[in-house]
Structure 1
Amino acid sequence: MEQGTGCRLLLLLLLLWGAGCRPSCAGQLSDYTTVIQVTNGGPWGDWAWPDMCPDGYFTNGFSLKVEPSQGVPGDDTALNGVRLHCTRGNAELNTHVVESQSGRWGAWSEPLWCPGGTFLVAFSLRVEKSMTLGDNTAANNVRFRCSDGTELEGPGHSWGVFGDWSDSCPKGVCGLQTKVERPRGLRDDTALNDLRLFCCRN
């Protein structure tokens, strides 16, 4: 193994360990080679466990958990969760869903799919900047890019702006990890703040 590759895998192992990784996920390091992320994620919460597609599967669809607008003076959390739909062959018969941690509010949308046999390779996150006064929401929506260049935008909210696209996975995305703020009682909640994706090795 080249020295750079070994260092990268060691760094990833430490990253997952520090994120409260489930006991089984350290063994899944061999399932991906690269982590892709964006630079505009929200500042609150903690990184949860990674969740990976089974061997031989790749992601070609996603769905979002979104809380509807709560109006005034409600507490909006907007985007609460992301699910990736891993497929092998016939997507209707061989689909596996990976999720990581999600917030408690909202409902799951219907999946959006890449066309044909294409797959997810990159993402962009819509985030509202933190406010000293006001209702913070952090991440509000996600766009994904498919391997044929198609862009899919989730049914999230329009608060904030989309940041730059992440790097692309040459062989597709095969897992995710979320950064989620836990419920804060009567204080301002933001739920999902940030997202990382893992690139497939094979």
Structure 2
Amino acid sequence: MDCAIFCHNTISCQGFNLGTALPYLCQLLTLAPNDVVVTGSSSFNQYIKTTAVVSPVQTSSPGHWGSWHPWFYCSPGSFMHAIRIKYDDYDLYPDSGGVTNLEVFCKYPDGTAANSAVLGVNDYTPPGSWLSYQGCPPGTWIKAWEQSVTPPLGGSIDDDALNNFIFHCSSDLNGRSGLGTALSGTGDTRYPLSLGECPFSTVACGVTLMVESFQYLGDNSAVNDMHLACCFIDLFV
């Protein structure tokens, strides 16, 4: 208990080791990028602070062009519950953008709506249409997603980069029992999907997109990649 209080009262602490001897006795920790595994040994047990944020969580299909936009986070105590996708179909325009925007909706555990945001292309109005609202069943949260990314096609062939998101909801309130409902995504099946998933007892609470800026004389590829941030959730019913 003393170690937990020590971590709680130290702003930079995101976890701590509880061991029988130094350096593991009340050793305070900060999560490194991609550090999503709780470790342990005969010398110590590792605990993660419930307010820690695990990020970035990513897939094995990264994008190719653009820069990372600022992180969007759900209001404290709320989690990602639903999305809408703006999608430019590859067959309908000579310079298709694929996924151009993502609208994210957060919700509190009592069902009250929290904050939301439209992310993605923001330096021009891209072609395409907003797809239907896609939400998780009540009492569940976005916990994982699959994405497909068009490989660089070269020459004068149109590149559209990220072309499909399929978000997966948790199967329970706490994000501890695997994946539940799969949302519909864009329907684009040209390329294989790869999965990114929040670790045990966490669900999505933040997102950042890699977006290519407007190409005045070139090929616009819009959204290229996405990372999630995952927050611990400890609710009981």
What runs of 5+ residues in structure 1 fail to find an aligned partner? 13-29
Q: Which amino acid aligns with 2:168?
A: R
State the 1:167 CA deviation: 2.7
Q: Which amino acid aligns with 2:85?
A: L
State the 1:183 CA deviation: 0.8
What runs of 5+ residues in structure 2 fail to find an aligned partner? 1-12, 17-26, 35-50, 172-179
User: Contact 2:88–2:98 at 8 Å: present in 1 too?
Assistant: yes
Aligned length: 180
Larger Rg: 2
The percent identity for this pair of structures is 24
Q: Which amino acid aligns with 2:83?
A: F
Partner residue of 1:52? 73
Provide the secondary structure at the position in 2 that maps to 1:150: strand
Partner residue of 1:24? none
User: Contact 2:74–2:116 at 8 Å: present in 1 too?
Assistant: yes
State the 1:4 CA deviation: 7.8
State whether structure 2 residue 147 is matched by structure 1 residue 125: yes
Q: Following superposition of structure 1 onto structure 2, how do residues 34-183 of structure 1 map, counting pairs within 5 Å?
A: 34-69=55-90, 71=92, 74-89=94-109, 91=111, 94-102=113-121, 104-105=125-126, 106-133=128-155, 134-148=157-171, 149-163=180-194, 165-169=195-199, 170-183=201-214
Provide the secondary structure at the position in 1 that maps to 2:165: strand
Instruction: Give the TM-score normalised by the residue count of structure 1.
Output: 0.78
User: Contact 2:96–2:158 at 8 Å: present in 1 too?
Assistant: yes
Partner residue of 1:197? 228
> What RMSD in Å do the two structures reach over aligned CA positions?
2.4
State whether structure 2 residue 208 is matched by structure 1 residue 185: no
State the 1:177 CA deviation: 0.1
State the 1:156 CA deviation: 5.0
